[in-house]
Structure 1
Amino acid sequence: MSQFIVEKPFWNIFPEVRIALIRVTGLDNHQSIPDSILSEANAHVADLIPEDPISANPFIREWREAFRKFKTKKGARCAVENLLKRAKNGNPVRSINPLVDLYNAFSLRTGYPCGSMDTAALKGDIRLTVAEGGEPFHAISEAEPEPALPGEVIYEDEKGVISRCWCWRDAERVETRDDSTAVTMYIECLKPEWQADHEKAVNELTDQIEKYLGAKTETVFIDIDHNVADYD
């Protein structure tokens, strides 16, 4: 059994973080979902982040402050900031595949970042930790690999980094694809006062995955006192 492990170097920086770890099995990622799920999420982004510039919104400001606490590639932000900014500026997030559309819509509605990895492509344990530097990483849609920086928060498995700068960019190797039948998802909650809303939102997302994509989901919440869980 492979495990999802959040290591001490991460907790030294972010002791209050809580993460929803979601195991999705029996996924049929060729099913259709209502177009309205993604289109309505795009259309109502201003409800979540009404202020301009985007950095004036408290939710975004909290994530930017978090990213100042560790080494990042220049310009790296929490992935959800880019989604929200695009939609608010009239460039709606496009459809990719049913599962990705569901969790992108979730992020647009709630502001919580969501990572999704094809479980079959993962190798061994997943670790959320701080990079020593040089760990291999090849981002989705990029021509060349680019290793992690020393002091950077990363998710990694035995083959290398699967998400750089915490929740910024995912690796092409573990990308959720049309033919993915099992995925491992994680959704971070940065602040304790967000936890009730975070848990409610996660439950709504897993309900949609089960309803529309015929999958089974299991969710475990990870925190500093419960920092290990099986994912496969």
Structure 2
Amino acid sequence: MSSVRPLITPQIATQAPGFRALSICVKAAPLINPGFAEKALADACQVVMSNEPAWAKVHLGAWAEVFRRFGAKPQRTPCSAEALRKRVLRDAGLPSIDPIVDLYNAISLEYAVPVGGENLATYVGTPRLVIADGSELFDTVKEGQTVNESPEPGEVVWRDDVGVTCRRWNWRQGIRTRLSSDATRMWFILESLPQMPLDALQEAGGRLVEGLGIMMPGALVEQELIGAKVG
């Protein structure tokens, strides 16, 4: 199994002191129990509405402050976990999208943590978290058409050798690397700040791996805790 170790530019340590993430690489197996994800998503929505972790709002508030620090407006472009939470509170649930997407959205909601899911086979080079200079390209959809746009200079983005794969840290994913249940190589990144206990981050990763094993028995998994370093 070929794995990947994402790179984090040292400047991230000044944007988000104490940032750490759990990187999970998966060699997929046939999907035989997709219904597990739909139930997990429904259960996670109930957690948001009635029994979220004590530290959840503080953690999401810390993400909002990090977004402000690099020039984003979290009220308009919140972190992915906050965006999901707002939809659940507004609509009393989330619609099913895809079994794999539903599963990682469920983990994001239940643990108030941004979770990204990427089709690793579409990556060119190593995923890396960097400060954009504004010249990078990002593929997205506007008015039903695929278009390329560029991040703002100074914006925190995930990218590979081709271009940006996720804008405003974890706000919006690009099209090229988007994950679905037919992918053969998957990469998940669970991103946390110190306001989320480290054991909760590790528990969230364990729940994701457990769910993948139920849905795809025989899937191979590698995971690693990573963090920004000043240097």
After TM superposition, the score normalised by the length of structure 2 is: 0.87
Equivalent in the alignment of 1:84: 85
Which amino acid is 2:100 matched to?
L
* Structure 1 runs of 4+ with >4 Å offset: none
Report the secondary structure of 2:176's partner residue: helix
Q: How does 1:73-222 map to 2 (within 5 A)?
A: 75-139=76-140, 143=145, 144-191=147-194, 194-214=197-217, 215-222=219-226
Matched, 1:20 2:22: yes
Kindly provide the CA deviation profile for residues 68-111 of structure 1, in whole angstroms up to 9, marking residues without a partner as x: 11033782110111111111122521111111111111111111
Matched, 1:10 2:23: no
Which amino acid is 2:200 matched to?
D
Equivalent in the alignment of 1:58: 58
TM superposition shift of 1:166: 0.3
Structure 2: where are the runs of 5+ without partners?
none
After TM superposition, the score normalised by the length of structure 1 is: 0.86
Equivalent in the alignment of 1:67: 67
TM superposition shift of 1:12: 2.7
Query: Structure 1 stretch 73-82 or stretch 145-154: which is displaced more?
Result: 73-82
Q: In the alignment, is the contact (CA less than 8 A) between 1:154 and 1:161 conserved in 2?
A: yes
Q: In the alignment, is the contact (CA less than 8 A) between 2:45 and 2:93 conserved in 1?
A: yes
Matched, 1:38 2:79: no
Residues 193 and 84 of structure 1, relative CA distance in 2, 3 Å threshold: closer
Which amino acid is 2:60 matched to?
I
Q: In the alignment, is the contact (CA less than 8 A) between 1:42 and 1:105 conserved in 2?
A: yes
Q: Distance in 2 between matches of 1:73 and 1:121?
A: 30
Residues 123 and 202 of structure 1, relative CA distance in 2, 3 Å threshold: same
Which amino acid is 1:5 matched to?
L
Which amino acid is 1:196 matched to?
D
Q: Distance in 1 between matches of 2:10 and 2:230?
A: 12
Query: Structure 1 stretch 41-50 or stretch 99-108: which is displaced more?
Result: 41-50
Structure 1: where are the runs of 5+ without partners?
51-55, 228-232
Which amino acid is 1:104 matched to?
N
Kindly provide the CA deviation profile for residues 125-146 of structure 1, in whole angstroms up to 9, marking residues without a partner as x: 1110100112100136763322
TM superposition shift of 1:20: 0.4
Q: Distance in 2 between matches of 1:175 and 1:110?
A: 22
Residues 81 and 192 of structure 1, relative CA distance in 2, 3 Å threshold: closer
TM superposition shift of 1:177: 2.1
Tell me the matched-pair count: 222
Q: Distance in 1 between matches of 2:230 and 2:29?
A: 27
Q: Distance in 2 between matches of 1:120 and 1:85?
A: 31
Q: Distance in 2 between matches of 1:224 and 1:59?
A: 18
